[in-house]
């Protein structure tokens, strides 16, 4: 299905937000109102002792090991340090050299736009995240990979294929990983409060915004909070309609429910005020957290001190029940759980979603296109590589359907021996990529800012929604507000 792309590139404001959503970052900012930014890292360099099973796979379809040897080297520009490991393994198995250049997230997109805008031949392969790719396609930077279309379409997770195609359906980027979403919850608290830790039963507690509010009230009665902050809800902002359809900005009932849910959780003190990526947020994964004021300076806090302060428990502490993140977020929780490792589970929520991912593409101006494409094939269409990475990364979700199927029964000790790969494989089947548009980042950010302003009592809901539309229209004047919008602009 064709995606509805923006007619303009993101403004500098939204470029900054997109850069924070980087593969290389561990996450460094957030907000209470659904405007938290996320770490879109593959999380492949997480330092867990956990490892996946090593089921054998059918290594067919362009991955028979018959790789050609090329003179010289190819140059790869990336945000993901993971790809150095791929390059090292590729050199060992094929003798071909790949020079990996890793960029800071804040500089990457600008560097690509400037360098390839000048038709540079200095880079052969570069990466992009889903929110960057449309701009790269539109600029003409990504070479045609149609020769691999059938393999990618049939062998890799469907939404990654769709994200790798431009607005005309031409394949231009391929990902070795997939990043389906989930709710990550505390099994021990679930047993205590709800009498079960079964993923299907806990998933029912997150099935709608109304049930989330009910779940939050039940947890609050036991002294617990449902989320670190209400930014967790932003992943459910695309549940029934795209943000833009036929040139109109869509704020449907689901989005209004999301708005109200976030405001209610915040104002009823049912979240921990532990903003995503802050020290309290990380500390909450390991155990009790001191009760924090809504205006607390979480960025000036220390994780170890917070854990020490909360060690005694009691009325001055709380525990966070759940986190909503893509699959790489499960690795963050795992690696910060400390004594709680093994006490988590994963379940579905309001809707299936994905976030982040590393897509590789060939520079249109490269003089080494054949060698560059071979390296991309090695990273993405070689099932042996996918199985190696699944194990090497200690839990990254790969895009190969065959490898996911081969590992679907693997019992993950960090998540109560749950079959996490099987769960994520099922979630990916439910992702509707037709809901994704080139306007999403701008709409999500403006909507999150509107929620935050109401949470803090700075605006009424009507005022905040009007400002939301105004901000989006100032960025994309070609859009319009539909006649049935919840507010009317003056």
Question: What domains lie within the chain, and their CATH numbers?
Answer: 40-179+355-407 (3.40.190.10), 181-347 (3.40.190.10)
Residue for token digits 């229209």?
473
Secondary structure E strands in 214-364: 244-245, 248-249, 289-290, 317-318, 322-326, 344-347, 359-362
**Which pair of tokens denotes residue 378?**
């090695």
Q: E strands, 161-307, where?
A: 174-175, 181-186, 244-245, 248-249, 289-290
Cα distance between residue 117 and residue 114, in whole Å: 5
Cross-strand bridge partners of residue 322 = 185
How distant is the alpha carbon of residue 282 from its chain centre?
17
Site of tokens 């309001």: 350
Least Cα distance to 173 among 183, 162, 164 occurs for 164
Distance between CA atoms of residues 414 and 76, nearest Å = 34
Q: How far apart are CA 38 and CA 15, in angstroms?
A: 14
Whole-angstrom distance, CA of residue 387 vs CA of residue 463: 51
DSSP per-residue string spanning 155-200: HB-HHHHHHTB-TTS-B--EESB--BEEEEEEHHHHHHHHS---HH
pLDDT at 65: 61
Distance CA 22, CA 283 (A): 22
Look up residue 382 and give its two tokens. Answer: 């070689």
pLDDT tens for the chain, residues 1 to 490: 433 444 333 333 333 333 333 333 333 333 334 333 333 333 333 333 333 333 434 444 344 468 999 999 999 999 989 999 999 999 999 999 999 999 988 889 999 999 999 999 999 999 999 989 999 999 999 999 999 999 999 999 999 999 999 999 999 999 999 999 999 999 999 999 999 999 999 999 999 999 999 999 999 999 999 999 999 999 999 888 999 999 999 999 999 999 999 999 999 999 999 999 999 999 999 999 999 999 999 999 999 999 999 987 777 999 999 999 999 999 999 999 999 999 999 999 999 999 989 999 999 999 999 999 999 999 999 999 999 999 999 889 999 999 999 998 999 999 999 999 999 999 999 999 989 888 998 999 999 999 999 999 999 999 999 999 999 999 999 999 999 999 999 7
CA contacts within 13 A on the Cβ side of 424: 35
Predicted TM-score (pTM) of the model is 0.84
Please state, in angstroms and rounded to a whole number, the distance separating the CA atoms of residues 147 and 171: 9
> What's the Cα-to-Cα distance from 38 to each of 42, 234, 445, rounded to whole Å?
12, 10, 12
Extract the tokens encoding 320: 């966070």
Are residues 465 and 487 in contact, defined by beta-carbon separation less than 8 angstroms?
yes
For the chain, the maximum distance between any two Cα atoms, rounded to a whole number of angstroms, is: 67
Q: Residue 430: in which H helix or E strand, if any?
A: helix 420-430
Residue 425 and residue 380: Cα distance in Å, rounded?
17
Given a contact cutoff of 8 angstroms between Cβ atoms, the answer to whether 385 and 176 are in contact is yes
The pLDDT score that the predictor gives to residue 238 is: 87
C-alpha atoms less than 13 angstroms from C-alpha of 296 in its C-beta half-sphere? 19
Residue among 131, 179, 162 at smallest CA distance from 3: 162
Q: Which residues touch 403 (CB under 8 Å, ≥6 apart)?
A: 57, 383, 386, 387, 390
pLDDT at 41: 34
Number of Cβ within 10 Å of residue 25's Cβ equals 20
Q: Are 232 and 32 in contact (CB under 8 A)?
A: no
Apex CA 436: angle with CA 481 and CA 104, to 5°?
A: 110
């Amino acid at each position: 299905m064709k995606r509805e792309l923006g007619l303009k590139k993101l403004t500098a404001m939204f470029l900054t937000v997109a850069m924070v959503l980087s593969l290389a970052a561990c996450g460094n900012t957030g907000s209470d109102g659904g405007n938290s930014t996320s770490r879109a890292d593959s999380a492949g360099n997480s330092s867990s002792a956990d490892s996946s099973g090593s089921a054998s796979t059918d290594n067919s379809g362009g991955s028979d090991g018959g790789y050609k040897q090329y003179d010289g080297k190819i140059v790869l520009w990336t945000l993901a340090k993971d790809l150095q490991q791929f390059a090292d393994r590729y050199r060992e198995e094929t003798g071909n050299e790949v020079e990996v250049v890793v960029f800071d997230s804040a500089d990457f997109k600008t560097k690509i736009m400037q360098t390839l805008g000048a038709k540079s031949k200095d880079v052969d392969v570069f990466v992009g995240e889903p929110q960057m790719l449309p701009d790269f396609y539109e600029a003409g930077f990504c070479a045609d990979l149609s020769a691999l279309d059938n393999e990618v379409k049939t062998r890799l997770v469907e939404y990654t294929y769709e994200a790798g195609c431009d607005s005309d359906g031409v394949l231009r980027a391929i990902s070795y990983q997939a990043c389906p979403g989930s709710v990550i919850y505390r099994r021990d608290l679930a047993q205590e409060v709800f009498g079960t830790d079964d993923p299907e039963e806990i998933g029912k507690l997150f099935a709608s915004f109304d049930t989330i509010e009910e779940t939050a009230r039940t947890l609050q009665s036991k002294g617990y909070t449902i989320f670190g902050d209400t930014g967790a809800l932003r992943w459910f902002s695309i549940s029934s309609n795209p943000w833009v359809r036929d040139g109109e900005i869509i704020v449907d009932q689901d989005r209004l429910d999301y708005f109200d849910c976030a405001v209610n959780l915040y104002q009823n003190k049912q979240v921990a005020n532990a903003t995503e990526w802050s020290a309290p947020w990380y500390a909450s994964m390991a155990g009790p957290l001191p009760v924090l004021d809504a205006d607390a300076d979480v960025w000036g806090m220390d994780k170890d001190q917070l854990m020490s302060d909360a060690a005694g428990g009691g009325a001055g502490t709380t525990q966070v029940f759940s986190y909503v993140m893509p699959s790489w977020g499960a690795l963050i929780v795992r690696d910060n759980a400390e004594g709680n490792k093994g006490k988590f589970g994963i379940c579905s929520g309001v809707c299936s979603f994905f976030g982040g991912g590393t897509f590789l593409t060939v520079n249109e101006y490269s003089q080494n296109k054949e060698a560059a494409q071979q390296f991309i094939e090695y990273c993405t269409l070689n099932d042996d590589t996918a199985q190696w990475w699944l194990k090497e990364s200690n839990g990254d979700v790969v895009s190969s359907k065959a490898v996911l199927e081969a590992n679907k029964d693997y019992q993950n000790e960090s998540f109560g021996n749950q079959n996490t790969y099987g769960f994520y494989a099922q979630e990916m089947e439910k992702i509707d990529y037709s809901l994704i548009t080139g306007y999403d980042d701008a709409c999500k950010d403006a909507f999150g800012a509107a929620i935050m302003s109401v949470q803090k009592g700075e605006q009424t809901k009507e005022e905040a929604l009007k400002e939301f539309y105004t901000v989006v229209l100032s960025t994309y004047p070609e859009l319009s507000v539909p006649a049935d919008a919840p507010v009317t602009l003056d």
